[in-house]
Amino acid sequence: MAASSPMALPAAMRSIFGARSNRVLLLAARDLQAGGGGGSCPRRWQSSLPQLDHTDRSDEESCGEIDWDNLGFGLTPTDYMYVMRSSPEDLGGFPRGELCRYGNIELSPSSGVLNYAQGLFEGMKAYRRPGRAGYTLFRPEENARRMQHGAERMCMPAPSVDQFVRAVKETVLANRRWVPPQGKGALYLRPLLMGSGPILGLAPAPEYTFLIYAAPVGNYFKEGLAPINLVVDDEFHRAMPGGTGGVKTIANYAPVLRAQLDAKSKGFTDVLYLDSVHKRYLEEVSSCNVFVVKGGVVATPATMGTILPGITRKSVIELARDRGYKVEERLVSIDDLIDADEVFCTGTAVVVAPVSTVTYKGQRHAFRTGSDTLAQELYTTLTSIQMGLTEDNKGWTVAVD
């Protein structure tokens, strides 16, 4: 009998699962049974995975334990994560993946990711659809392709677009009770790709792991949707020409922590980085892209290798053009910013965040914020599409049912 059949489960396990078996449950049960072989969670993850508890709750529509009105961008652990591995014999492919209970993972102390930062991540959001069952994802194939591009740069194999999107959908459905109610936030998905195999000399790791975990989130900045205050750092840089600023490697993020902490300790929301060569052109903020608006022209730094090609950035460029704005992707100087009417940031986590002030060399520059700004218009249009509140004429949303 097939391992995934409920009848193949031991009696004790069948009574634990009761009548509410669903696909997630079966997969997780099969993982427990198989002990890591035959298509279950890979053995090396198994020993540290939490055991199934007595009540699987992945069928529940909403989690009652959460204060949905006060979601920030903190980590609330959810029920399941998705794990898929590529070993040397898989020749760069990821033969199969599985849902596992969310929990700690085991890594070799000499894994490529721990020793040489051979790792990438993505950020995505799933929203609960209004008025009917199901959820929506926003342009998930773009995340898949960006991961593939980053993997090429970091010498890693990557899942196919189809594998990536299917894995994200499975992760959403398995954690459906953690998708916030309409208007309260989103289920944030964090796909990771890492060199999990052991390596001592500097070289690509022999084995790779793709993993997706999820957490319900609200607004990214503590300001909520209120305008943010940035400080320009002309000492620390986020990226350099020829480096990895243009891919979403984990190695781009720890280096900004020093400047970010200093900025926060002085009351700023975050840091705006300048280019490392001329110290004059805008790059991006620690966790998002930046735009400046002057009259009918919107400008944002071109993605020439040091700027992350944001999916929200790309979408906002299209939405601004639809509204008749001229959008320029080019070098944007600090003088352009100082002269701007409006400044805003974009990203999956931050969405569209209006910038109230930017402090540069001790001078505070203020910008227009409020209801009649382009940032507000873009925020409303974008989130209406993402949340399924308006018709998606762009074909950007993907249903998860």
Q: What's the min distance (Å) between Cβ of 71 and ligand COI?
A: 15
Nearer to ligand COI, 118 or 287 (CB): 287
Q: Provide the minimum distance between the beta carbon of 212 and ligand COI in the complex, in angstroms, as a whole number.
A: 13
> Smallest gap, in angstroms, from Cβ of residue 122 to ligand COI?
7
Cα angle value 262/264/265 (rounded, 5°): 65
- Nearest distance, CB of residue 142 and ligand COI, angstroms: 12
Alpha carbon separation from 248 to 74, 81, 210, 251 (Å, rounded): 20, 20, 14, 8
Per the residue annotation, which of 125, 184, 222, 248 is the catalytic one? 248
Nearer to ligand COI, 122 or 275 (CB): 122
**Could you tell me the maximum CA-CA distance found in the chain, to the nearest angstrom?**
72
Specify the residue, 287 or 373, whose C-beta has the smaller distance to ligand COI: 287
45 vs 221, beta carbon nearer ligand COI = 221
Q: Is residue 169 annotated as part of the catalytic site, yes or no?
A: no
HSE-up of residue 185 (Cα within 13 Å, Cβ side)? 24
* Least CB distance to ligand COI at residue 303 (A): 16
**Which residues sit at the interface with ligand COI, rule CB under 6 A?**
123, 253, 287, 347-349
- Considering the complex, state which of residue 3 and residue 349 has its C-beta at the smaller distance from ligand COI: 349
Give least dist CB 312 to ligand COI, A: 8
End-to-end CA distance of the chain: 29
Give the tokens for residue 288: 């998002």
Residue 58 or 260 having the CB closest to ligand COI: 260
Shorter beta-carbon distance to ligand COI: residue 196 or 260: 260
Torsion, Cα 129 134 140 144, to 10 degrees, reads 160
Q: Which is nearer to ligand COI, 123 or 195 (CB)?
A: 123
User: What is the number of alpha carbons within 13 Å of residue 73 lying toward its C-beta?
Assistant: 16
CB of 349 to ligand COI, least distance (A): 3
The pairing of strands 80-86 and 208-217 is antiparallel
Q: Tell which residue, 195, 116, 107, 101, has the closest CA to residue 157.
A: 195
State in angstroms the smallest separation of the CB of 192 from ligand COI.
11
Residues recognised as catalytic: 248
